[in-house]
Structure 1
Amino acid sequence: MKNTTLLRAALLINSAFSALSALLMLLWTDTIANLLGLSTHGLLLLVSAGLLLFTADLLHQALQPRLASWRALYASMADLLWVVLSVLLTVVFYSAIPTAGIVLVISIAGFVLLFALLQLYGIRQLHLNPATGLYRHCLVVRTQAPARQLWPVIADLGSISRFVPMLAHSEVLNDLPAAQGAVRRCTNQKGQSWSELCTDWQEGTSFSLRFLTDEPGFPFPASVMLGGWSVQSTDQGSEVTIWWELMPKPAWMAPVMLPMLAFGADKDFPGVIAKMAVASQEQLEEPISQFRARLLPRLC
């Protein structure tokens, strides 16, 4: 998930256009107010202030080493809302707005629509894994717990519900050992269940899973869904990588579904790893008393 160029460019262009629009509203307030048929300047000043805040947010997004696609999604939704409101205003107040003002509003809405579409396509490209054709989200969390102590907790497939808030229950079917071929059954807090087949197992370092999407009642809108965990040692402890790859159903929903997945995962899994780190110390004579788990600003 390293194709960030398009999304960064779209966010930067959008921020530049928003800043320019705000500055023009502030510098040529009277002219623009006359074009739009406004008798007061209050609305223009309010819109320009909002645009400057929007500009700052877009710039902050674009300059991050790890782009947060969920933030780009809400920026795109804000752009689309601008377009809808622009069209509605020109329709409702058609007789009150001079022709030049209508042309101005619709022209700006056209540019904003273009930015929204570019950002959505950039989100798609950000998550697309060209090697598999699936859409990927991945995160890396750093903690002080040594990898050799953390691995047994991560590798205990049936105990994942102890650490993930959305899960009410988890188990490995048929009491099989955690290894390739094992099937984990998970149930969330809503009572929805699904199964995950372990397709690869590297003792001490990683495992991969395939969600059994063809099973009746599979709760996620994906025709293919994979995932995996890995842990590696660092000088300060360990780094845990968690990833998912999926084909949304329908596929065109990828620019919406992947940011939603990313938002939840980025919010919840540092806490999950912190709980696992605490659990990794339970049998030690001198356990580490406190753990921090930090999401790293790294693409993977």
Structure 2
Amino acid sequence: MSQSTAAARTFLKMNGLFSTLTALPLLLAAGMVAPLLFADPAEWAAMGLRGLGLGLIGFAGLLFALSKYKYVSRVIVNDIVVLDALWVIGSIVLVVFFGRILTTDGVTVVVAVAVVVAVFATSQAIAAARIETPVPVADVTFRDGTLRASVTRTVRAPAEAVWEVMIDHPAYADVADNLSRVDVLSGDGLGMMRRCYGPNGENWEETCDLFEPGRAYGFRVHTEAENYPYPFAELLGRWSVEPHPAGAEFSIEITAVLKGNSLSRWLFAAFARPQFKTILIDLADGWAARMERGAAATCDTTAASAVAEHC
């Protein structure tokens, strides 16, 4: 699915670069640009151009951020298309109904920018239509200082086979992009302790606080430890599996209570949401592939044994 977003992310990045290049003269030389654009520039013209430049920089920042999101959605890209279309419409209105306030060069600049924006809008719309929805259903919300992330994935494997993959804790790091290693420290089932390692060597301990054999388990992260590396006051994870007509369906739910004041929590959540969603989607797909391979291997082994017994 990430390949289906490649074109859209490329156009978003190019749009962001063009917005930045358009904004820089307005921010850095508004006093010189105003007479070039307006036939009789008012005193507020330069200030207005600077304000427009700041808006374009903010827009460019949004575009760059979206272009880095591996699973940017069709809806989000189309929202950008709408904003670009509004710019084009506004430019047409300005030239057609208020063209007298512009110089000849001003009209040329407004039309040229609108044409480029229209090209981006069209390209983004075409690219958005090709975006495929990920198979895993992922959701990330933030409310009252708590971040909740979840993903659900159907898999063509029996629940028993899925469960065996889910409780292979060391192998969890093979499919979780935010982990490089998982070590079981002690125990098995409820009360089990494991240590998880991040991609840069940071590590933390977790204790199993929920265990329903064959169905669900959960871990509480020791966020109170002095060396805990992330800004979470509490962090809980829940993993579960249920039978499904396709085979089985597993779910992962993460609940994180953020540290800091309201502004810092909101900023962290804003930047963390797409990262959480990407990690969970990739994890669910990676896990599903492993589960289906394991189920297929088991079926092949069973079939071979049956043939051997028959012979």
> TM-score band (shorter)?
0.5 to 0.7
Alignment TM-score, normalising by the size of structure 2:
0.57
Retained in 2: the 8 A contact 1:206–1:228? yes
Retained in 1: the 8 A contact 2:77–2:124? no
1:259 aligned onto 2:274: yes
* Alpha-carbon spacing, 1:163–1:67, altered in 2? closer, same or farther (3 Å): closer
What's the secondary structure of 1:274's corresponding residue?
helix
Retained in 1: the 8 A contact 2:137–2:151? no
What's the secondary structure of 2:301's corresponding residue?
coil
Distance in 2 of aligned mates of 1:10 and 1:161? 31
Task: Name the counterpart of 1:222.
Answer: 232
1:93-242 to 2 correspondences below 5 Å? 127-128=141-142, 134-174=146-186, 176-177=187-188, 179-242=189-252
Task: Name the counterpart of 2:114.
Answer: 44
Q: Which amino acid in the other structure matches residue 201 of structure 2?
A: G
How far off is 1:172 after superposition?
1.8
Structure of larger gyration radius = 2
How far off is 1:49 after superposition?
3.2
* Alpha-carbon spacing, 1:271–1:287, altered in 2? closer, same or farther (3 Å): farther
Distance in 1 of aligned mates of 2:129 and 2:212? 41
Q: Deviations over 1:119-146 (max 9, x none)?
A: xxxxxxx60367xx62111111121111
Higher relative CO (CA 8 A, sep ≥ 6), structure 1 or 2?
1
Retained in 1: the 8 A contact 2:217–2:239? yes
Distance in 1 of aligned mates of 2:160 and 2:134? 32
Distance in 2 of aligned mates of 1:15 and 1:170? 43
* Alpha-carbon spacing, 1:211–1:193, altered in 2? closer, same or farther (3 Å): same
Please state which structure has a larger fraction of its residues in helix. 2
How far off is 1:265 after superposition?
2.1
Unaligned residue ranges in structure 2 (runs of 5+): 1-74, 304-311
* Alpha-carbon spacing, 1:236–1:261, altered in 2? closer, same or farther (3 Å): same
Distance in 2 of aligned mates of 1:273 and 1:65? 10
Q: Which amino acid in the other structure matches residue 25 of structure 1?
A: S
1:2-13 to 2 correspondences below 5 Å? none
Distance in 2 of aligned mates of 1:165 and 1:13? 29
Q: Which amino acid in the other structure matches residue 128 of structure 1?
A: F
1:271 aligned onto 2:286: yes
Distance in 2 of aligned mates of 1:229 and 1:22? 48
Distance in 1 of aligned mates of 2:282 and 2:300? 32
Distance in 2 of aligned mates of 1:65 and 1:272? 13
Q: Deviations over 1:253-276 (max 9, x none)?
A: 212212221123223431233124
Alignment TM-score, normalising by the size of structure 1:
0.59
Task: Name the counterpart of 1:291.
Answer: none
| % identical aligned pairs | 21
Unaligned residue ranges in structure 1 (runs of 5+): 1-8, 70-125, 289-300
CA RMSD for the aligned pairs? Answer: 4.0
Task: Name the counterpart of 1:76.
Answer: none
What's the secondary structure of 1:127's corresponding residue?
strand
Q: Which amino acid in the other structure matches residue 270 of structure 1?
A: D
What's the secondary structure of 2:152's corresponding residue?
strand
Distance in 1 of aligned mates of 2:183 and 2:278? 26
